[in-house]
């Protein structure tokens, strides 16, 4: 397991107990690496600065004890934002009807990059309507995926914020 996976394993139980869900953990390199923990509220409400601060305090204590990264690092806790990454199977279901970009590890139908309208999930495969036609990408083959910032997504986000 890589360092990001180990950190996610360490912090997820506490973050979930606090009423949040981990969206992604990333480590960016350098002499002082950055650890980014992206989280969202489990109740679907908008993340606040206070939410991020609460998670940061709890996670800092855990990482100090577990020490998964040798040497100094910078911790950043953030919300996914509007054009969020899609990292979990349920993200592809939740955002069906919105446009997404997806990159696969292994070529599917001769290509690795897809852009189109998310149609949800069926039998562990992400369904997309692309300009080249319908596409099915196995979730286990997804390298990275994110929503595309569109007027529809902005409207839906504004409606959700109330």
71 pLDDT tier (thresholds 50, 70, 90): confident
11 phi, psi to nearest 5 deg: -90, -25
pLDDT of residue 162: 60
Q: What mean pLDDT is predicted for residues 33-45?
A: 92
Asked if residue 71 lies in contact with residue 35, where contact means CB atoms within 8 angstroms, the answer is no
Q: pLDDT tens across 99-111, in order?
A: 999 999 999 989 9
Q: Where are the domains of the chain?
A: 3-78, 89-161
133 pLDDT tier (thresholds 50, 70, 90): very high
pLDDT of residue 136: 95
pLDDT at 1 over 80: no
**Alpha-carbon distances of 161 from 44, 99, 110, 158, rounded to whole Å:** 10, 20, 40, 5
Fold of the domain built from segment(s) 89-161:
SH3 type barrels. (2.30.30)
State the CATH class of domain 3-78: alpha beta
pLDDT at 30 over 80: no
The residue among 162 and 157 whose pLDDT is bigger is: 157
pLDDT of residue 45: 87
Fold match between domain 3-78 and domain 89-161: no
Please report, for the chain, how many H helices and E strands are present, in that order: 4, 8
């Amino acid at each position: 397991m890589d360092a990001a996976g180990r950190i996610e394993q360490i912090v997820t139980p506490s973050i979930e107990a606090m009423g949040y869900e981990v969206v992604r953990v990333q480590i960016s390199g350098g002499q002082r690496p950055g650890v980014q923990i992206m989280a969202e509220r489990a109740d679907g409400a908008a993340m606040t600065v206070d939410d991020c601060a609460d998670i940061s305090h709890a996670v800092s204590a855990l990482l100090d004890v577990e020490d998964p990264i040798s040497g100094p690092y910078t911790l950043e806790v953030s919300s996914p934002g509007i054009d969020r990454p899609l990292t979990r199977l349920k993200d592809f279901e939740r955002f069906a009807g919105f446009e997404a970009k997806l990159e696969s590890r292994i070529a599917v139908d001769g290509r690795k990059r897809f852009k189109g309208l998310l149609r949800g999930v069926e039998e562990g495969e992400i369904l997309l309507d692309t300009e080249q036609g319908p596409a099915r990408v196995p979730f286990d083959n997804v390298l990275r995926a994110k929503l595309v910032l569109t007027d529809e997504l902005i409207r839906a986000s504004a409606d959700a914020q109330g």
